[in-house]
Amino acid sequence: MQFKINPKNPSSAALRVVPIFESETGKLQTENLGFSPPSSFLFSGKKDSSYSFESGDQLVLLIGLGKEPDYKTIETSYRRILSKSSSLVEKEVFLDFPDTFTAEQTEAALVGFRLGSYSIGFYKKEKPKDFHKLKVEVGSSLDKAKSLAERAEKIADAKIEAFKLVDLPPNKITPEYLADWAKDLGKKSKLDIKVLDAKKAKSEGLEAFLAVGRGSAKEPKFIILEYRHPKAKLHVGLVGKGVTFDTGGLNVKTQGMHHMKSDMGGAAAVLATTQLISDLGLHVNLTAIVPAVENAIDKDAYLPSEVIGSHAGLSIEVIDTDAEGRLILADGLSYLIKNYKTDQVIDLATLTGSAIGTFGYECAALFSNDDTLSHGLQQAGEMIGEKSWPLPLWDEYGKEMDSEIADIKNYHGKPFAGAITAAKFLQAFTHEHPAWAHLDIAGVAFGDTEFAKTKTGTAYGVSLLLTYIESQL
């Protein structure tokens, strides 16, 4: 499916999709549509509403956006077209945007429309409807409509990749799969890719990372992606938690394990963002690290009360093997900061249930030692509909992670401040980098949406990181 710009001349065979603001008058709607709109009793443009009818020989779908829709509202409204109204779609769609529609609103609509083609029915005998050959024309008077449409395609493609990486089952999404995915991206986008296997990771001192993967038959992979642009003045480092399945280890999970394929939501966001930044050719240098492991159980699994090493040289007392994500992130952060001179470091991880207990499923928990970075991420999230909210990194919380036998312990074992103490653990491995942010995305990377009957990936972080990085350029 590709978008083609059409100067307001749709085929009569095409489904014509028109956005309507609730604040628009009937007269203005008539001018925009070219025909009389339905009665306000039937359709008034309210948010999340739609109305379809025939006008002459053409089928028309009106999309209600409310009074002042944000980016996410428009994206979601347009995603519903292919996801929920596919019976109206045959071979052609004409996305008709009024002259008042801004570039940002048009981008949101095009991204959402393309996302509507995504389905999680990967293994069904009866395959979901295929939209690859769908002819989609875009009616827009914007000067750069073509480049805008191309940009929207790239954003949507990256988000769909993030969806897939989270939604596919753990017998498909393994550490090796993520490593191969990165290698394929490297070939397509001319990125420098390095993948450290267990032997190479051992030689690099990635002891915490290797400890988590000891109990799995699937070899861990430490993935490094480097995107460089000759005009870059900013170097951003990303680290994404890549636990492809989390049993909890010997502190085995007693409930909800079915959803633990999603414990690599941070890795999915980082990989998809790297693809997107490369596709868009942004003037930035980016180094992305994904420590990919499976936290499983066998005779070699790491034990509660073990003391393990780390890339940073700190010894770690293992209190709980289900606090494994912070262990691989610790090595990922340390490796990134020690080997690459990044201006900023951002990690994303489905890390703690505490973050969900604090914020529910509305936003990520944000921790940072740099106010400018923290505010920038918050503002970007507000703009794009991927919210975060800051929590403190006070030294008093760090004392909760003191160990009697080692330099630090991986879990404080108390029913409070779980997200904060986890962030303080990570901070110990950042080598006092002056601009670090940690996003605990446990409540927002995977969840219930209107587009599936089960929990699915949300691609949280992809649009957030893109918006934030572009704001710095």
42: left (phi over 0), alpha (psi -120 to 50) or beta: alpha
Structure tokens at 235: 């170097």
Q: Which residues are catalytic?
A: 253, 326
Mean pLDDT across 3-15: 78
Q: Which residue reads 């690099």 in tokens? A: 204
Please answer whether residues 225 and 274 qualify as being in contact, where contact means their C-beta atoms are separated by less than 8 angstroms.
yes
Mean pLDDT across 441-462: 96
DSSP strand pairing (316-317 vs 307-308): antiparallel
Measured between alpha carbons, how far is 170 from 195 in angstroms, rounded to an integer?
A: 20
Structure-model confidence comparison of residues 36 and 25, the more confident one: 36
**pLDDT-derived band at 130, boundaries 50, 70, 90:** confident
At residue 58, the pLDDT reads 83
At residue 30, the pLDDT reads 64
Structure tokens at 239: 């680290």
- Residue 217: phi and psi, rounded to 5, are -75, -15
At residue 1, the pLDDT reads 83
Question: Does residue 381 have a pLDDT over 90?
Answer: yes
Question: Does residue 215 have a pLDDT over 60?
Answer: yes
Mean pLDDT across 444-458: 95
At residue 300, the pLDDT reads 97
**pLDDT-derived band at 57, boundaries 50, 70, 90:** confident
Residue 272: how many CB atoms within 10 A of its CB? 29
Closest CA to 276 of 262, 286, 261, 263: 286
Tell me which amino acid residue 79 is.
R
Average pLDDT, the chain: 94
Question: Does residue 27 have a pLDDT over 70?
Answer: no
Which residues lie across from 278 on neighbouring strands?
Answer: none
Please answer whether residues 375 and 471 qualify as being in contact, where contact means their C-beta atoms are separated by less than 8 angstroms.
no
Q: Which residue reads 């159980």 in tokens? A: 297
Structure-model confidence comparison of residues 86 and 469, the more confident one: 469
At residue 29, the pLDDT reads 62
Structure tokens at 169: 């089952």
At residue 362, the pLDDT reads 95
In sequence order, the 6+-apart residues with CB closer than 8 A to the CB of 136 are 1, 2, 3, 4, 92, 93, 95, 113
Of how many residues is the chain composed?
473
**pLDDT-derived band at 40, boundaries 50, 70, 90:** confident
H helices of 260-307, in order, are 265-280
Full-model pTM: 0.96
Strands of 27-185 (E only): list them. Answer: 50-55, 58-64, 92-96, 135-139
**pLDDT-derived band at 406, boundaries 50, 70, 90:** very high
Structure tokens at 320: 């709980």
Question: Does residue 114 have a pLDDT over 80?
Answer: yes
At residue 262, the pLDDT reads 97
- Structural domains of the chain in order of their starting residue, each with its CATH number: 2-117 (3.40.220.10), 158-472 (3.40.630.10)
Question: Does residue 23 have a pLDDT over 80?
Answer: no
pLDDT in tens, 350-368: 999 999 999 999 999 999 9
**pLDDT-derived band at 412, boundaries 50, 70, 90:** very high
In degrees, rounded to 5, the angle at the alpha carbon of residue 363 between the alpha carbons of residues 351 and 171 is: 45
Closest CA to 441 of 249, 79, 162, 177: 162
Measured between alpha carbons, how far is 19 from 435 in angstroms, rounded to an integer?
A: 41
pLDDT in tens, 140-194: 989 899 999 999 999 999 999 999 999 999 999 999 999 999 999 999 998 999 9
Structure-model confidence comparison of residues 229 and 129, the more confident one: 229
At residue 42, the pLDDT reads 83
